[in-house]
Amino acid sequence: MALRHAVLAALLDGEFSGYQLAKGFDIGVANFWHALPQQLYAELSRLEGEGLVAGREVVQEGRPNKRLFTVTDAGVAELERFAADTAKPSFIRDDLLVKVQAVDGVDATPVIAQLRERARVAEAKTEVLTALLRRLRGDLDEEEFLRTGRRIGPYLTCLRGLAFERETREWCERSADLLTARGERAVRRGSGRAEA
């Protein structure tokens, strides 16, 4: 998948400025596709040049003018083509997992600290995604929303993000606890040998 498809999919919700799109990415789309604001602005420019999005200038009083973007019919056709392509399997590429893999040969203390920090970050993301899901479904409960909601694609991706963040938090906490306990046992064994 390219950033272009994530941008086109995000613009299906309506007309957005680059700033609004960046905020939307930061809140919802970032749980499955990361992009910096400057990457989004550059991609919007490319998509507009290819006719996949249309931009219009909005004059503002006392503030800089802004451009608003919408998906064109050609953009929807590109999304149709993309949606029909076979999805590539996902894979994990995470430097923290490499550190955990190496923990038997290095000092585990900094790795444990990083696991605990990652768990805290995952918990914060869980709270954000939970609030976003509530906002997306409005007054409906989840089952009703999934049966009758206008657009469930963003909701389903947030559900996946929520499950990922919960699992990440649980794995990080468990791994940190296990490594801490193993380190404490090793220290006790070492001090027992020293006394003998």
Q: What is the pLDDT of residues 110-147, one digit of tens each?
A: 999 999 999 999 999 999 899 989 988 999 999 999 99
Q: How far is CA 163 from the centre of its chain?
A: 11
What pLDDT score was predicted for residue 196?
47
**pLDDT higher than 70, residue 30:** no
CA distance 193 to 196: 5
**Residue 169 corresponds to which tokens in the numbers above?**
């938090």
**Model's pTM, two decimal places?**
0.76
Q: What percent of the chain has pLDDT over 90?
A: 55
